Chains A and B, each alone.
Chain A
Amino acid sequence: MVIVWGGLGSYRRALGEALVEAGKANRSVVVLDADTPRSTGTLVFAEAFPDRFFNVGISEQDLVGTAAGLAVAGKIPVAAAFAVFLMRAWEQIRNTVARDGLNVKLVGTHSGLSDYMDGSSHQCLEDIALTRVLPGFTVVAPADTVATKKIVLEVVLEHKGPVYVRLGRDNAPKIYDSSEEFPIGGSKTLRDGSDVVVFSYGAMLGVALEAARVLEEKGVSIGVVDVYTLKPLDVDNVIRLARRANLVVTLEDHSVHGGLGSIIAETLAEHAPRKLVRIGVRDRFGASSRSYVELLEYMGLTPDKVASRIMEALRCV
């Protein structure tokens, strides 16, 4: 397994390619964007299927409502926008898409810290908290470009019902071979270990794997799990792995309040209480920076910093 953390792969390019493939496979697939097709990656779909793409302009609430209408009328709408601006339409997502259980696929790009240069207004650290609370919603967050393509195709062509897909920008690690499959509702145990188990997803999965490599050199037995389906959670796997470890860690580029930190805390508290360290963004907004790695450094989310936090916590277990 080759791990490259810190950004290389383009989630949005992978999204565009997956959408074109989905569009070829099913004529009911319609893609909508809110003036950002060059940023989200939907542009390639627009060029391939001009009749089945439209830009509603800078109006995310209308984006979600229009997608709802397309779903009501039997189409498979994919609505893409910067994650933080898609959340502007949270109430539309709740009251129209979720309440009627519509087959709408929402894709939030530029999530987490991926949009490092644009700063706190554009960095979405709350989208998982906001979507996982919606009844009937499925929430997925692919870690790399292979996972992005597979998961987007799966949720668009196979899965019925509302889905939120959380994507970054061009900060994808390289983790999976193209043969890997990602059934919705599953998780992937990428490393096994008895001292620590780290649950992560999205771009931070690369950081988790690199931190694990660093810690392994120091003699720590550490497992890493890709929780690519945040809802519904693969509860059995989480409990099984947590029970075997002395310390459980969550790692995410999202607020630990409402994100995977909360998800695992809730699950462990109910089923398998364990010492838990939640690493992510804690009750604050992001910030502009000149590079992605610089921002991760600033937020304490580089492999070295994550490894130190885990070592510290292990001393206290």
Chain B
Amino acid sequence: MPLRPRRNSAARVPSVDGQAEAWSKTYARSVSMLERVAERVRSLVIRMGLLERSVHVGSSLSVVDILVAIYFGRGLRRSGSRPTERDWLILSKGHAAPALYAVLAVAGVLSEEALYTIRSINGLEGHADASVEGVDVSTGSLGQGLSIAAGIAYAMRLDGTDGRHRVFVVLGDGELDEGQVWEAASTIAHLGLGNVVAVVDANGYQLDGPVDEVKRKGDLLGRWESLGWEAVVVDGHNYEGLLAALDHADSSPKPVVVVARTRRGKGLSVLEASGGQYIGEGDGWGS
């Protein structure tokens, strides 16, 4: 499958943006191509999970289509060399780093070999790490991405680039337990940072079980709307819906949250059936 464009050897930030933008120009709106890209990303995630059993495969597979839709469907755009003259993507659910790393590998930013160093000394960090080319911000501790996005979006406003550029934040639905998410959601709405786009990967699970059994999440749309966000819900594995939602977010003056209903382990039948996180049964203990 000729899905790996040549590696761009330019500096970290330009290479990511450049690749993703080039890809979006080539493949945008070609749903069948996005699906093929996603299939490749999933196969890489599963290989990582087979190689290192502590990889969060279930959470990574649920978010693949969201990341592919942003990176390759909508594309991350760039209009200049300053950090406020580009789009940003923050994987606030940093445990899904394998999906992000795999997307970066398909984009040619990382090598496939690099993926297989995951969770090893001098290899890829287990959670999203900014020292890895193409990762914008280090995450791994939940609930922090949206605040970081607020800061970036405010900087864009100061530089007058907020009309051109977006800050995407991908969160988990379990992550919504974190109070900081709502601190940041209020800040963003209050400051009118309409160029922030939050995507909730609503796969229905968190570490200890189904999200509403662990702690009720309430009205997933209403919670955001009451603060001043525009909330839309889509099937997180359907590219027409995801791209339409991202399109809408691009034109909306309000911050938009896309609640993407997904399946944990999407694409791997055993995990889809169990809602599990890891390949293999393990010893019954969590990570």
| Chain A interface (Cβ < 8 Å from any Cβ of B) | 30, 51-52, 54, 56-57, 59, 61-62, 64-75, 77, 91-92, 95-96, 99-100
* CB <8 Å contact, A62 and B184: yes
Query: Could you list 17 further interchain pairs (A-B, Cβ under 8 angstroms) beyond the known A70-B152, A72-B151?
Result: A30-B155, A54-B191, A61-B143, A61-B147, A61-B183, A68-B144, A69-B147, A69-B154, A70-B151, A70-B155, A71-B151, A72-B83, A72-B88, A73-B151, A74-B84, A92-B144, A92-B147
Sample of 28 A–B contacts (CB below 8 Å): A51-B158, A59-B183, A59-B184, A59-B187, A61-B143, A61-B144, A62-B187, A66-B147, A66-B148, A66-B154, A69-B151, A69-B154, A69-B155, A70-B151, A72-B88, A72-B137, A72-B152, A73-B155, A74-B82, A74-B83, A75-B151, A95-B138, A95-B141, A96-B137, A96-B141, A96-B144, A99-B138, A100-B137
Given known A-B contacts A65-B148, A67-B151, A92-B144, A56 and B183 have beta carbons under 8 A apart:
yes
- Which residues of B have CB within 8 Å of A65? 144, 146-148, 150-151, 180, 184
Contact status A70-B84, CB under 8 Å: no
**A41–chain B nearest beta-carbon distance, Å:** 21
Q: Find out whether the CB atom of A62 lies under 8 angstroms from the CB atom of B183.
A: yes
* B residues apposed to A, CB below 8 Å: 82-84, 88, 130, 136-141, 143-144, 146-156, 158, 179-180, 183-184, 186-187, 190-191
List A contacts of B88 (CB < 8 A).
Answer: 72
A52 contacts B150, CB within 8 Å? no
Q: How far is the CB of B60 from chain A (nearest CB, A)?
A: 20
In the complex, are the beta carbons of B187 and A57 less than 8 A apart? Answer: yes
The answer on a CB contact under 8 Å between A100 and B130 is: yes
Residue of B nearest to A92 (CB): B144
Q: B224 to chain A: closest CB distance in Å?
A: 16
Q: Which residues of B contact A69 (CB under 8 A)?
A: 147-155
Q: How far is the CB of A89 from chain B (nearest CB, A)?
A: 9
CA distance A52 to B151 in the complex (A): 12
Please give the distance in Å from A209's CB to the nearest CB on chain B: 41
A70 to chain B: which residues have CB within 8 Å? Answer: 151-152, 154-155
Q: Is the CB of B154 within 8 A of A92?
A: no
Query: Complex Cα distance A67/B147, Å?
Result: 8
Complex CA distance for A64 and B184, rounded to whole angstroms: 11
- Which residues on A sit within 8 Å (CB–CB) of B180? 59, 61-62, 65, 92
- Contact A96 to B154, CB < 8 A, known contacts A56-B187, A62-B187, A73-B84: no
Q: Chain A residues near B156 (CB, 8 Å)?
A: 73
| Interchain nearest-CB distance for A70 vs B (Å) | 4
CA distance A54 to B82 in the complex (A): 22
CB neighbours of B150 from chain A (8 A): 62, 65-66, 69
Q: Do residues B82 and A96 form an inter-chain contact, with CB atoms below 8 A?
A: no
CB neighbours (8 Å) of B187 from chain A are: 56-57, 59, 62, 66
Q: Nearest chain B CB to A268's CB is how many angstroms away?
A: 35
Residues in chain B near residue A54, CB distance under 8 A: 154, 191
Q: Are A74 and B147 within 8 A (Cβ)?
A: no
CA distance A75 to B152 in the complex (A): 9
A57 cross-chain contacts in B, Cβ below 8 A:
183, 186-187, 190
Q: Which residues of the other chain, A, contact B148 by a CB distance below 8 angstroms? A: 65-66, 68-69, 72, 96
Q: Tell me if A77 and B183 are in contact (CB < 8 A).
A: no
Shortest beta-carbon distance, A35 to chain B, in Å? 12
**B147–A64 CB distance below 8 A:** yes
Q: B129 — nearest CB in chain A belongs to which residue?
A: A99
> Which residue from chain A places its CB closest to the CB of B184 in the assembled complex?
A62
Using Cβ atoms and an 8 Å threshold, which residues of chain B touch A67?
151
Q: Are B179 and A61 in contact (CB under 8 A)?
A: yes
Please tell me if the beta carbons of B155 and A74 are within 8 angstroms of each other in the complex: yes
Q: B286 to chain A: closest CB distance in Å?
A: 19
Going nearest first, the 10 A-B pairs with the smallest beta carbon separation are A69-B151, A65-B147, A73-B155, A59-B183, A62-B183, A70-B151, A69-B148, A66-B151, A95-B141, A69-B152
Cα A75 to Cα B139 in complex, Å, equals 20
Residues of A within 8 A of B140 (CB): 95
B143 cross-chain contacts in A, Cβ below 8 A: 61
Closest to A104 in B: B151
